Amino acid sequence: MHNRQERTCLKCGDKIIKCYVDDGLKGLLVKNPDGDRLFSNKKNTNINPFICTNCGFAEWYADKPEDLI
């Protein structure tokens, strides 16, 4: 198991680093549609991209995937 900061690229095996999108400081907010209510959806988490510094491949990981269920 890799820890959160030590993932490797699926494409080339090089190191990938955690980045963020410049549109929401903690990442993009994603929501499980099953959690939709009129005014809120608590089944959500932020996702952030991990990007390979060698080939540029990007993977997205949820900060708290367990919060989606």
| Site membership for Zn ion, residue 59 (CB under 5 A) | no
| Site membership for Zn ion, residue 9 (CB under 5 A) | yes
Give least dist CB 65 to Zn ion, A.
23
Touching Zn ion, residues 13-42 (CB under 5 A)? 14
Structure tokens at 41: 């959806």
Could you give the angle at the alpha carbon of 62 between the alpha carbons of 38 and 1, nearest 5°? 150
Query: How would you label 1-26 residue by residue, b for 16+ Cβ within 10 Å and e otherwise?
Result: eeeeeebebeeeeeebeeeeeeeeee
Give least dist CB 2 to Zn ion, A.
15
Binding site for Zn ion (CB under 5 A): 9, 11-12, 14, 52, 54-55, 57
